[in-house]
A = this chain, B = another copy of it.
């Protein structure tokens, strides 16, 4: 199991006319959490791309509990509960202080530069295995 936490501050651009963060903004925040997780694992997404891999999103889900507001400091916890196979699933928990804002998950495929499905890169699996043994 891998869990990493990163923080963002809500931008004005991310709010909407309800006076709170637009629900779609959270989808981008999940991306921020996911990218930081791969950084911490030691295999930045940028590097994955440069070695010919892409991790397109197959599925995304978010459940909203409390609103975030402009300038709120939102902590994004990203959790990988199991080793990726042909799919990689990441779960998320977003908090502002001790308020739970949102939970969600994203499901990803591994594809090569041509967009064809492929196995997860070996060096990614090796890096991840350290965390699951």
Partner-B contacts on A (CB < 8 A): 11-13, 15-20, 22-24, 27-28, 31-32, 35, 44-46, 49, 54, 56-64, 67, 69-71
Residue of A12, A61, A63 with highest tally of chain B CB at under 10 A: A12
Given A11-B32, A27-B27, A71-B44: A18 and B60 interface contact (C-beta under 8 Å): no
10 closest A-B pairs by beta carbon, nearest first, are: A15-B17, A24-B27, A23-B57, A13-B28, A46-B71, A61-B61, A59-B63, A17-B19, A15-B16, A60-B62
Chain B residue at minimum C-beta to C-beta distance from A22: B13
> How far, in whole Å, are A67 and B54 apart by their CA atoms in the complex?
13
Is the Cβ of A18 less than 8 Å from the Cβ of B56?
A: yes
Is the Cβ of B71 less than 8 Å from the Cβ of A64?
A: no
Is the Cβ of B59 less than 8 Å from the Cβ of A59?
A: no
Is the Cβ of B13 less than 8 Å from the Cβ of A31?
A: yes
Please name 15 further chain A to chain B contacts, defined as beta carbons within 8 Å, in addition to the given A16-B17, A56-B64, A58-B63, sorted by A numbering. Answer: A11-B35, A12-B17, A12-B22, A12-B31, A12-B35, A15-B16, A18-B54, A23-B57, A44-B71, A46-B70, A49-B70, A56-B67, A57-B64, A59-B63, A59-B64
Closest CB in chain B relative to A81 CB, distance in Å: 19
